[in-house]
Amino acid sequence: MAIHEKSLIRPENLITHDNLVIDGVDVSGDWSTFIRTRVVTDYNEALEDEISALPGGELIHRCWQCGSCTNSCTVNAENPDFNPRYWIYLIRMGMEDELLRDKDIIWQCVSCNKCTTICPRDVVPEGVMKATAHWLELKGHTKPSNSTIFDEVFSDQVIKYGKIEDGEVLKDFLKESGQPLMQDWIVQMVKNMIKGLPVIQLMKMGWATVFHPKTKDWSKARDAINEYVAEEHAAQKKALGLDEYKDAAE
């Protein structure tokens, strides 16, 4: 019977005796290693297949749990709860409820690709993190993260025009994610930026915000990309057994 390690040492599962003496020996304290026998029944057998059906998750089945991903992880160094190896384990075991405990931090993967570079089985853990974050959103377990909002604002501009304008990305993202534009550090940054610049360059930057940079003859590429993305997203919806699929490209 499969067990999973973290639940054994969670406070509510610890068996504690403040004052326990057996045959004259004081054995008071935490009895976590002598946990009750139990059976896990709430598997989601489809979980691994669903993650594999999303871009980036295709190779999750290769994982042999060496832990190199978590060991090398940039975000794990800042937050020990961010644990790619453990999440890959839960997904492969079908432990959906356990995975959902961490649903609000999985999107924080910064795509530094240290895991993907060190992984001896070419699992591409970075891709698995992205697939898992998407899965959580598609299934309605989480709202679109700031990362997803940023990806969509950015990609919308690329697909529409062929190029982005970074001032517009910043402005649109802050609006879409409900943040004020005039934050102290952003104001200070802009002040420092324009301090040394000649007027001509400032005019160039102003021009770019009014007339969005565009790639020549882009419209046919735009239409072909939109058509392909719509097909892919419909196929993903089907793989996850969802009736209503919120198209990320919308």
Partner 1 sequence: MTVIIDKAALKKKYKKVAYYPGCALEGSAMPYDKSTRAVGKALGLELVDVKDWNCCGAMEVKNVDPEVQTYLSSRVLSNAQHKNKMDVVMAPCNGCYKNLKEAEYDLEHKDKSKQVTARISEKAGHETYEAGGVETIHALDWIKMGYGEDELRKKIKGGLKGLKIANYYGCMYTRPRNIFPEKAEGAGGDSLTKPHYMDDLLAVAGAENVEFPLKTACCGGAHTLSDSDMSTKLVLNILEAAEAAGAEVIATECPTCHSGLEMHQIRALKRLSKETNVKVVYFTQLLGMAMGLSARKVGLNGNISDSRGLMKEKGII
Please give the Cα distance from 118 to 110 (Å, whole number).
Answer: 16
Looking at residues 125 to 154 of the shown chain, list those that interact with partner 1 (rule: CB under 8 A): 126, 130, 134, 145-152, 154
Which of residues 29, 80, 140, 167 is near partner 1 by CB under 8 A? 167
Q: Alpha carbon of 192 to those of 4, 189, 196, 235: distances in Å?
A: 52, 5, 8, 47
Which residue, 95 or 148, is less far from partner 1 as judged by CB?
Answer: 148
Please give the Cα distance from 116 to 240 (Å, whole number).
Answer: 25
The token duo for 86 is 């453990």
Are the CB atoms for 85 and 6 separated by under 8 Å?
A: no
Looking at residues 19 to 58 of the shown chain, list those that interact with partner 1 (rule: CB under 8 A): 55-56
> For 115, what's the count of Cα atoms within 13 Å in the CB-facing half-sphere?
28
CB of 67 to partner 1, least distance (A): 19
Which of residues 184, 200, 211, 241 is near partner 1 by CB under 8 A? 184
User: Does residue number 104 form part of the binding site for partner 1 (CB under 8 A)?
Assistant: no
Q: What is the DSSP string of 166-203?
A: HHHHHHHHHHHTT--S--HHHHHHHHHHHHT--HHHHH
Which of residues 177, 212, 237, 245 is near partner 1 by CB under 8 A? 177
CB of 194 to partner 1, least distance (A): 10
CB of 144 to partner 1, least distance (A): 11
Please give the Cα distance from 222 to 227 (Å, whole number).
Answer: 9
User: Does residue number 117 form part of the binding site for partner 1 (CB under 8 A)?
Assistant: yes
Q: Show the DSSP H helices in 33-124 as ranges.
A: 47-52, 68-72, 74-78, 84-93, 96-100, 114-118
Looking at residues 214 to 233 of the shown chain, list those that interact with partner 1 (rule: CB under 8 A): 215-218, 220-221, 223-225, 227-229, 232
Name the one residue in this structure whose structure tokens are 């993305």: 229
User: Does residue number 116 form part of the binding site for partner 1 (CB under 8 A)?
Assistant: yes
User: Does residue number 249 form part of the binding site for partner 1 (CB under 8 A)?
Assistant: yes
End-to-end CA distance of the chain: 44
User: Does residue number 192 form part of the binding site for partner 1 (CB under 8 A)?
Assistant: yes
> For 204, what's the count of Cα atoms within 13 Å in the CB-facing half-sphere?
6
Q: Count interface residues toward partner 1 (CB under 8 A).
A: 69
Which residue, 66 or 208, is less far from partner 1 as judged by CB?
Answer: 208
Contact positions vs partner 1 (CB under 8 A): 55-56, 74-75, 78, 108, 110-114, 116-117, 122, 124, 126, 130, 134, 145-152, 154-155, 158-159, 162-167, 170, 173-174, 177, 184-185, 188-189, 192-193, 195-198, 201, 205, 208, 213, 215-218, 220-221, 223-225, 227-229, 232, 248-249
